[in-house]
Amino acid sequence: MSAAGADWPEDFDTIRTGAIARGLGPNPIVYNDAIGGLRAGSPDGTGVSVVCGTGAATGARSRDGRIWHSSFWQVPQGAQQLGHLALQAVIQAELGIAPPTALASALLHHLNAPTIEAALHALTARSLPSRPDVKSLAKLLLDVAATGDSLAVGVVAAHGRALGDVALAAARRVGLVHEPFHLVLIGGVFRHPSPVLREAVVTRVREDAPDVNVIQAALEPAIGAVMLALEHISVAITPEVRANLQATAPPTDVFAT
């Protein structure tokens, strides 16, 4: 199992106990979900993963088997945080604190709102029975950054560098930073066509680890868990096995959160 919530030692114990109680085997193997993401993209299961979906996670594994995952050490997050950053940028531009940004018109269109104040009210009013999900603004932010809007580019690039900082910390934790290693970018946010976030992550990592091998994962982290399970029963992850997993994997929208 490659599980979200497998962070502290007692979490692993709880997940194992729960899996056994539900008849999932006498000795379940549990990894943090960032390690599943790493296995999904890395050809040999080693390196560093940056998983960026609704949230974010970073995992690392060395050739000698050392593992580290960011868990609650992870400060830069995924779409939820990027959505908040997009809204913050629009608010600051509207107040004259930051330069004007095309994010403003994109937000108005997205929410069908006449003004920024109306948009902010729609996102925050306590009296509304339901509110738009702020994580949906992450796509707007990446869309606008792709057009070259300076404020949006700055927000996305800064976030990418912060993700890169954690990736480097992960590499240091398992002794990889001074040698070539695989850097796996995985998760729904990295599937956005804009290269701004990906390039910012990679640029930051290459400042300290210039020989890193960047991999844009084609498989979801859940498929990495399948690979870890296969390896546990001595099935090698050959190119043929990987291709079969990719061909038979559920569509990506199954994993949307």
Give strand pairing partners of 61.
47, 67
Give the pLDDT confidence score for residue 131 in this predicted structure. 80
Kindly state the DSSP code that residue 254 receives in the 8-state scheme.
G
Terminal CA-CA length for the chain: 19
Tens-level pLDDT at each residue, the chain (257 residues):
899 899 999 999 999 999 999 998 888 999 999 999 999 999 999 999 999 999 999 999 999 999 999 999 999 999 999 999 999 999 999 999 999 999 999 999 999 999 999 999 999 998 877 788 999 999 999 999 999 999 999 999 999 999 999 999 999 999 999 999 999 999 999 999 999 999 999 999 999 999 999 999 999 999 999 999 999 999 999 999 999 999 999 888 777 76
CA gap 158, 174 in Å, rounded: 25
Give the pLDDT confidence score for residue 257 in this predicted structure. 63
Q: CA geometry: angle at 23 spanning 21 and 29, to 5°?
A: 85
Give the pLDDT confidence score for residue 214 in this predicted structure. 98
Sort 233 into a burial class: Cβ within 10 Å, 0-12 / 13-18 / 19+.
exposed
Q: How many CA atoms lie within 13 A of 19 on its CB side?
A: 17
Give the pLDDT confidence score for residue 217 in this predicted structure. 95
Please give the distance of CA 83 from its chain centroid, rounded to a whole number: 14
Give the pLDDT confidence score for residue 253 in this predicted structure. 78
Q: Which domains, from first to last, does the chain contain? A: 2-76+167-255 (3.30.420.40), 79-156 (no CATH)
Give the pLDDT confidence score for residue 129 in this predicted structure. 73
Query: In this structure, what token pair is assigned to residue 5?
Result: 């919530």
pTM, whole model, 2 decimals? Answer: 0.93
